[in-house]
Structure 1
Amino acid sequence: MNLSNFVKRIRDIMRNDAGINGDAQRIEQIAWMLFLKVYDEKENDWELDDDYESIIPEKLRWRNWAKNANLTGDELLDFVNLKLFVGLKKLNVDTNTPMKKAIVKSTFTDANNYMKDGVLLRQIINVIDELDLSNYEESHAFGEIYESILKEMQSAGSSGEFYTPRAVTDFMAKVIKPKVGEVMADFACGTGGFITSWLNELDAKVKTASDREDFNNSIYGIEKKQFPYMLCVTNMLLHNIDMPRIYHDNSLTKNILDYTEKDKFDVILMNPPYGGAEKESIKQNFPDDLASSETADLFVSLIMYRLKQDGRCAIILPDGFLFGTDNAKVSIKQKLFNEFNLHTIIRLPHSVFAPYTSITTNILFFDKTGPTKKTWFYRLDMPEGYKNFSKTKPMKLEHFAPALDWWKNRKAITQDGFDKSKCYTVKELAERGLNIDLCGYPHEEEEILEPKDLIQQFKEKRESLNAQMDKTLEKIEKMIAM
């Protein structure tokens, strides 16, 4: 099969269907069919075990309806809408159901069939069924096509989530240095980018059958939204993780004070949603001083309660977290510095996440080995020849080469009179009111942000300035009282 033409063929067919409205619906439509195709291929392997019994009723298995070319038009639509989706959503699943079976129901819980033309639906199914995932070369090549499907997502959702470039997830996994036997978690795992980078980095360290078992059990993910959750589970099956511990849930709905040692992880890699807003009730799951209205702040607090002793974390956060001095942000940063070792902050160049958001971001690296004594800041500049990253000209892992070289041999760097890299003591940072917006980009031309990003940046800066003014007024009032 010509895999390079795979996505285009499906897109061209779907454009003729009145039920598909926009990229999100189109890719969600592809996703549930891909899941069933991939799951059916996996079942071929699992059935080599005589004890295996599919959780999917025989008539609803891909091999029995998707391959039936005579099932088309209105008859196919009726089957999909009234039998397939209804049957998969009603599967009998309980706490004793193996994960590789339970994921079928969770994958379809909130899934939808948007297509209204049964003939076009048949054409799509035929294209997907042409994939020969039992062929190693084609299965391996499909991994790249799968990545292109993920990149088809054009815009961030209402909770601020978007596709994290593979170069970024690979860099973070490389620097965090996975070890066999560790378990890595992502509490807003999206389509599984960080988990995939973790697995790719860890795979080279697998030497024995015992190592392979540890490898298969080394991931844990939670995703709030149905569509990326479905893609993530499919992604894990494609990576031969037969029992993916990926859950369709909201990580913020549990009181963080209720987490115990068994709920903690060796490594956490994340790009939490930011700019989004959770229900007011969500804030009640956090101590009053940590109850921020910003989603990313809540995830930082969640991580601090779910990282094991000596555990390591790498997390992407917007500039607003660094310069923010409102009460909640300061409390979160105080806890981070007092109880964790925030040893490194990498400032990322603008447009890394184009076209999803223009907000500038950073990677924070910390571990739970004791309080912070000093923090290194390093600014990763735009590579030579690039003015902006874009969908057609994305960031590549090779662009992180200067950061990797610096990581191994840290030193202060000054360029044109401005700090590109510098180490600050925790005392120096405290004297700044924990405004840790340091080693930024002094020469950047003023960038015109998208309206949503501009409003978000304005809100964060306003909150920070208000907090600084309140503290200054408090000092003045104390002086007057004396």
Structure 2
Amino acid sequence: MAANLSGLVKKLQDIMRNDPGINGDAQRIEQIIWALFLKVYDAKEDDWEMEEDDYRSILPEQYRWRSWAHDDGKGTALTGTELLDFVNELFAALSTLPITPDMPRRKRIVRTMFEETNQYMKDGVLLRQVINVIDDINLESYENMHALGDIYETILKELQSAGRAGEFYTPRAVTDFMAKRIEPHLGEKMADFACGTGGFLVSWLRELRKQVSTPDDIALWNASIYGIEKKQFPYMLAITNLLLHDIDNPNIDHGNSLLHDVLDYTEKDQFDKILMNPPYGGSEKKDVMRHFPDDLRDSETADLFMSVILYRLKAGGRAAVVLPDGFLFGTDNTKVNIKKKLLAECDLHTIIRLPGSVFAPYTPITTNLLFFDRTHPTERTWIYRLDMPEGYKHFSKTKPMRLEHFAPVDAWWDDRREIIEDGFPKAKCYTAEEIAAGGYNLDLCGFPHEEEEILEPMELIQKYQEQRKALNDDIDKILARITAKLEENA
């Protein structure tokens, strides 16, 4: 099954490259996702109908995948202009399905999936070919569904080179390592307040699944996650991702975590565990910043999400968060206030400095993993620098970071000791007093200066293309922040 699916994305993209209505990988992937969602949802409905005598689909019968998508080869399947007209009608119907608050989430997600989704294709014959490829996927067994869940990773990895979509994908090696180190337990609730394509949710579920042995355990496992995602495209990806990983009621909201007064959160809004890679480099407007206390108010997206995490982590809870270098060394008032709050209310016990290019080709920004528990104020913080693995000059789309690259951290984690290499600290413990005396600058155990590497011509071209894209993205973000400031003062 996996072998047959491995070429699925390429086959579909090759078909859609001939369609005049589609421009770029991001639109091609969005096209794949809405059709794949309907195919997977139809397979799930087969299961639900077998399990529940009174199950009724939220989909009108004519819009269920089984009713219109299959091509029996007898010339009766919709195609051409007729298919395009029907799909446009389907989109209009599904985006306005009647829903109620007490309706099961597995039904409500159909409407939210289609409310802001686009159908770009203009060639109905090519659309029929796309539908046929997806309809041929056999999802009748658990093994096949599981295999497609793994192949789905290839779709998400494509996002790294899909322009606007790259920000939604965190490498699986990073999400798996963080999920393991946060130590999931059955009965706990985990949240990701900017869940993107659902990578952290899936890594948590994969790690927690090892503890499942009874039907009651399965119910706890299924109800253990919560996500919220602001943008429609990654929201679609996350919902489909969870359906493929056996979550029948994907508990993901389509919304913005920053549009809620953090002071209004109560214990019922808090979670046992939080796993996140907050969007960073973004600029938020005044109507977003007003939801935060004056001393924590900033236009930097990552800073605001850190505040949300601090208000929504339960007493005794644990968090693991990806943050850029700018948070570590930032000395502006807001960043310092957030770090003071973090150290005063939580035990920031570990920071892992990641090597550069982990998120290539989307961004060259160097990132860090912060692990903290809401148990007691920080007394000391261990900082560990994870160097580039032997034989690697940099990570790339074809040579991404893998879970085994975290082996040095795993070996060090439970038997912590100071490590000095070539006169530079690679691992060191700092007291809270030392951190405060340094102005809350956490930019410690950094990477020594490296000599410039000499690359092959094609590698050099790719590197410069990646750097140019990242620089353009940074310039766009800076311009957006300047514009936001001007609008505030207007």
TM-score range, shorter chain: over 0.9
Alignment of 1:23 onto 2:25:
yes
1:190-205 correspondence to structure 2 within 5 Å: 190-205=196-211
The residue identity in structure 2 corresponding to 1:109 is: E
- Deviation for aligned residue 1:455: 7.9
Q: Give the deviation of 1:45 after TM superposition.
A: 0.4
In structure 1, the partner of 2:440 is: 434
Query: Distance between the aligned counterparts of 2:116 and 2:350, measured in 1?
Result: 40
- The residue that corresponds to 2:303 in the other structure is 297
* Aligned residues of 1:223 and 1:250 also touching (Cα < 8 A): yes
Distance 1:198 1:395, change over 3 A: same
- Alpha-carbon distance in 1 for matches of 2:430, 2:158: 41
Q: Could you tell me how far apart the structure 1 residues matched to 2:49 and 2:272 are?
A: 34
Equivalence map 1:145-224=2 (5 Å):
145-155=151-161, 161-224=167-230
TM-score by length of 2: 0.91
Matches within 5 A, 1:55-74: 55-68=58-71, 70-74=77-81
Residue 51 of structure 1 is matched in structure 2 by 54
Residue type of the partner of 2:40?
V
Q: What residue in structure 2 maps to residue 79 of structure 1?
A: 86
Per-residue CA distance 1:180-225 (angstroms, 9 max, x = gap): 1001100011111001100010000112222111101000000111
Deviates more, 1:272-281 or 1:6-15: 272-281
Distance 2:101 2:431 in 1: 49
Quick check: 441-450 or 206-215, which moved more?
441-450
The verdict on how the C-alpha distance between 1:437 and 1:458 changes in structure 2, with shifts beyond 3 A counting, is farther
The corresponding residue for 2:36 is 34
Distance 1:128 1:158, change over 3 A: closer
Give the structure 2 partner of residue 450 of structure 1.
467
3-state SS in 2 of match to 1:153: helix
Q: Which amino acid aligns with 2:59?
A: I
Counterpart Cα distance in 2 of 1:234 and 1:160: 18
Alignment of 1:180-329 (within 5 A): 180-329=186-335
Q: Are residues 446 and 429 of structure 1, via their aligned partners in 2, closer, same or farther at CA, if it must alter by over 3 Å?
A: farther
CA 1:446–1:338 in structure 2 vs 1: closer, same or farther (change >3 Å)?
farther
2: distance between equivalents of 1:397 and 1:28? 28
For the Cα contact (< 8 Å) 1:23–1:154, is it kept in 2?
no
1:70 Cα shift? Answer: 2.2
Aligned-partner Cα distance in 2 for 1:456–1:435: 26
Deviations 1:318-345 (A, max 9, x none): 0000000001101111100111111100
Cα offsets for 1:252-302 (capped at 9, x unmatched) = 111111111111000000001111122221000111111111101110000
2:357 to 351, 374, 399: 351
1:479 aligned partner: none
Aligned residues: 460
Name structure 1 gaps, 5 residues minimum: 462-482
**8 Å contact from structure 2 (residues 26, 164) kept in 1:** no
Secondary structure of the corresponding residue to residue 97 of structure 1: coil
Deviations 1:52-72 (CA, angstroms, capped at 9, x unpaired): 000011111111011155201
Question: Which residue of the other structure, out of 70, 92, 105, is the alignment partner of 2:111?
Answer: 105
Aligned to 1:96: 102
For the residue of structure 2 that corresponds to 1:47, the secondary structure is helix
Asked whether the 8 Å contact 1:313–1:366 carries over to 2, the reply is: yes
Q: Which residue of 2 aligns with 1:474?
A: none
Distance in 1 (alpha carbons) for counterparts of 2:207 and 2:348: 23
For the residues of structure 1 that align with 2:131 and 2:45, how far apart are their CA atoms? 19
Report the Cα offset of residue 451 of structure 1.
4.7
Mapped to 2, the partners of 1:27 and 1:186 lie a distance apart of: 23
Tell me the CA shift for residue 159 of structure 1. 9.5
CA RMSD of superposed structures (Å): 1.9
- Which SS does the other structure have where 2:167 is aligned? coil
Matched, 1:12 2:1: no
Aligned to 1:469: none
Q: Deviations over 1:345-373 (max 9, x none)?
A: 00000000111110000000001001111
Contact 2:346 2:376 in 1 (8 A): yes
**1:381 maps onto 2:384 in alignment:** no
Q: Distance in 2 between matches of 1:460 and 1:89?
A: 32
How far, CA to CA, are the matches of 1:292 and 1:401 in structure 2? 37
One-letter identity of the residue aligned with 2:36: L
Following the alignment from structure 1 to structure 2, what is the Cα–Cα distance between the partners of residues 46 and 136?
14
Kept after mapping to 2: 8 A contact 1:31/1:230: yes
Cα 1:459–1:20 change in 2 (3 A) is closer
- State the shift of 1:155 in Å: 4.5
**Does structure 1 retain, via aligned residues, the 8 Å contact 2:229–2:252?**
yes
1:5 Cα deviation after fit: 1.7
Distance 1:159 1:32 in 2: 16
Look up the equivalent residue of 2:303 and give its one-letter code.
D
Q: Which runs of 5+ in 2 are unaligned?
A: 454-463, 479-490
TM-score, normalization by structure 1: 0.92
Q: What residue number does 2:407 align with?
A: 401
Q: Deviations over 1:408-458 (max 9, x none)?
A: 110000000000000000000001101110001013346978356458889
- More off after superposition, 208-217 vs 297-306: 208-217
Match in the other structure for 2:120: 114
Cα distance between partner residues in 2 of 1:319 and 1:4: 36
Q: 1:341 to 1:148 in 2, by over 3 A?
A: same
For residues 460 and 128 of structure 1, do their structure 2 counterparts lie closer, same or farther at Cα, with a shift above 3 Å needed? closer
Q: What letter corresponds to residue 4 of structure 1 in structure 2? A: S
Looking at structure 2, the residues matched to 316 and 400 of structure 1 have their Cα atoms a distance apart, in angstroms, of: 15
Q: Distance in 2 between matches of 1:229 and 1:89?
A: 15
Distance in 2 between the 1:6 and 1:182 partners? Answer: 36
Cα 1:452–1:20 change in 2 (3 A) is closer
Distance in structure 2 (CA, Å) of the matches to 1:157 and 1:303:
28
Decide whether the 8 Å contact of 2:168 with 2:197 is kept in 1: no
